[in-house]
Amino acid sequence: MTLRERADIPSARRVVVKVGSSSISGENAGQIAPLVEALAAAHERGTEVVLVSSGAIATGMPYLKLDERPTDLATQQAAASVGQNLLVVRYQDALDRFGIIAGQVLLTAGDLENSTPRSNAQRAMDRLLALRILPIVNENDTVATHEIRFGDNDRLAALVAELIGADLLVLLSDVDALYTKPPHLEGAQRIDHVPFGDELAGIEIGSVGRAGVGTGGAETKVSAARIAAGAGAAVLITATPLVTEALAGAHIGTWFDAAPERHTTAEATQLT
């Protein structure tokens, strides 16, 4: 189905929710429980929910006694290997009280660009959702060297939304919406609605996430929103603490209209 406005969100058939590293690691690790509660509420009303979660490297850092995100590839891979296991355990612990089982899905860009692994991923995701499992997707950081350098999972979330034919992509971060300029600057105004194809001319979009933890920013989210919208999914950008309101259809964040018709991944990618 095509969602026309935020009030339609509770009726969505499939929803992809993406959360960034800085929102669920370190001092913000406590946000996992309310995030899961919001996902469980959507799951309970029949929505098929997929969570795309960054945070493997950030979660693994303390166990490698690292104070800052490592810059060398081998240490990034080691931190991701340790952190991914711990991250999924934390999510499952939070899901247990709702009787929901998580399924881990680790992907690389190549998995979604090549027909055979893409078909395998689509089949696995469809089956998990049919079984009422909540897939938790992350970049396979331990082996996906290019994507570690690329930085954030916003693009992955958009491609997953296209892969499974999601009605909605929700991009969560530390900021409650997209603004006309970085929100800490004087005169920044919240952008409420972005029509499909709007180039956001004159908007100053930042590209950096919270130092030392996340690597994404408004730029990656806008790029991801255009991919998902081009593939036929509406997009909502808002803050992680507002996820309950977002999935309930509250008028918050920045809403991107979906394309009138669904397109292939290749066609959608051309919109970035």
Residues annotated in a binding site for substrate: 54, 141, 153
Tell how far CA 143 is from the center of its chain.
20
CA distance linking residue 55 with residue 153, whole number of Å: 10
Q: Which amino acid is at 231?
A: A
Around Cβ 245, how many Cβ atoms within 10 Å? Answer: 16
DSSP state of 226: H
Give yes or no for a contact between 182 and 28, defined as CB atoms under 8 angstroms apart. no
Report which of 42, 36, 23, 24 is spatially closest to residue 176, judged by C-alpha positions.
Answer: 23
Output the known binding site: 18, 54, 141, 153, 173-174
**Which two structure tokens, joined as six digits, stand for 17?**
């929710």
Backbone φ and ψ of 179, nearest 5° = -120, 165
CA distance linking residue 108 with residue 141, whole number of Å: 8
Structural Rg of the chain based on CA atoms: 17
What's the Cα-to-Cα distance from 267 to each of 154, 159, 169, 178, 229, rounded to whole Å? Answer: 18, 12, 18, 25, 11
Output the known binding site for ATP: 18, 173-174
